[in-house]
Amino acid sequence: MKSIYAPWRMAYIKGKKPDGCIFCRDSIRNENFVLFEGKTAFVMMNLYPYTSGHLMIIPYRHISKVENLTAEEKLEIFNLLDMAIVALEKAMHPEGFNVGMNLGKAGGAGVDDHIHMHIVPRWMGDTNFMCTVGDARVIPEDVIKTWELLRPYFLKKPEEV
């Protein structure tokens, strides 16, 4: 079994967590990382990405279980997933994707009380010698630069992307 190391996340894991929810509008959400606001969910950059272009789709409602999503939220989340993949394909040309949710602490969720879906673009060879030799993953682009690259695709209507 291969392991993927993300040592830059240790600062987050060990660091003091601020009070509030990083995904809720009325809490401590960083608006600078939001790419698109839908009716029931939104698309946001991941501050601690596994690769450049790592996005998250998040319902506005603060819920921790998939079964608590409404039919409308489920539909919009998958429509936003489609929109995000098309935007990433056009802007960054990945060769594949990892898409999924980490549910609960035991499931690997860093934020376990507000569900969110991850979209991670992948390229052949995106794990390189740094992972093997240095126990470090190199993210080749600053998160803000990636936001600037992707943002124009999220300003269009989904059918125009």
* Active site members: 116
Note the pLDDT of residue 130: 41
Q: Burial-class residue 116 by CB neighbours within 10 Å (0-12, 13-18, 19+).
A: buried
125: left (phi over 0), alpha (psi -120 to 50) or beta: left
Note the pLDDT of residue 25: 87
Q: What is the pLDDT along the chain (161 residues), one digit of tens a residue?
A: 455 555 656 666 677 766 788 888 888 878 889 999 999 999 999 887 888 899 999 999 999 999 999 999 999 999 999 999 999 999 999 999 999 999 988 888 888 899 999 999 998 877 644 444 444 454 556 788 888 889 999 987 655 55
DSSP string across 86-141: HHHHHHH--SEEEEE---SGGGT-SS-SS--EEEEEE-TT-S-HHHHHSS-----S
Beta bridge partners of 120: 98
Note the pLDDT of residue 99: 96
- Domains, the chain, ranges and CATH? 31-124+143-156 (3.30.428.10)
pTM: 0.78
Calpha distance 133→10 (Å, rounded): 18
Let me know: does 67 contact 156? Beta carbons within 8 Å: no
Let me know: does 23 contact 115? Beta carbons within 8 Å: no
Note the pLDDT of residue 21: 86
> Quick check: helix, strand or coil at residue 23?
coil
Note the pLDDT of residue 132: 43
Note the pLDDT of residue 128: 47
Note the pLDDT of residue 62: 96
